């Protein structure tokens, strides 16, 4: 975990793996308030660990920060590192949540992984660190489930 920004404002090669990726944080500019931060990644990709074929997902990450917020460029690079990473949908989705919990220690976090079908079946994966905090507006993720054609 780093408190000094090393990636923002300069060209960065993509990390070769999620483990190599550096997630950076900055001090919460409104640490006296409780509010929600949402990141949406509609074109997330990883690799099937069995076939090596690409898997695609729409990720929605919500969190209520404490003292730190995640720096968005570092998050983009981290998520992009999954493009060459072989793991099942469940492993990817929960690993992202666990890494964010470890790096920024939010009051609350949830992630929705809306995975597109392969083999005829979509798999949606959801993780939440606990009950939603009182007094914070937490909008629904509003990602439509996969309906296929028709």
DSSP string over the chain: -BSS-SSTTS--PPPSSTTTPPPBEEE-TTTTS---EEEEEEEEEEE-TTT--EEEEEEEEEEE-SSEEE-HHHHHHHHHGGGG-B--HHHHHHHHHHHHHHHH--SEEEEEEEEPPBTTB--EEEEESSSPPTT-------PPPP----
Candidates 3, 32, 41, 55; catalytic one: 55
DSSP 81: G
The SS3 call for residue 63 is strand
Active site includes 32? no
Q: Would residue 48 show up in a list of annotated catalytic residues for this protein?
A: yes
User: Token pair for residue 122?
Assistant: 């979509």
Please list the active-site residues: 48, 55
């Amino acid at each position: 975990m780093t408190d000094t920004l090393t990636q923002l404002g300069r060209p960065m090669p993509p990390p070769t793996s999620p483990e190599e990726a550096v997630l950076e944080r900055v001090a919460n500019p409104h640490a006296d308030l409780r509010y929600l931060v949402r990141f949406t990644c509609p074109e997330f990709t990883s690799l099937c660990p069995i076939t090596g074929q690409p898997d695609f997902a729409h990720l929605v990450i919500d969190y209520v920060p404490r003292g730190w917020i995640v720096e968005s460029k570092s998050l983009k690079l981290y998520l992009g590192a999954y493009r060459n990473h072989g793991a099942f949908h469940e492993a990817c989705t929960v690993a992202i949540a666990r890494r964010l919990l470890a790096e920024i220690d939010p009051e609350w976090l949830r992630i929705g992984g809306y995975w597109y079908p392969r083999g005829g079946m979509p798999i949606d994966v959801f993780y939440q660190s606990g009950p939603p905090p009182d007094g914070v507006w937490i909008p629904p993720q509003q990602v439509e489930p996969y309906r296929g054609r028709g």
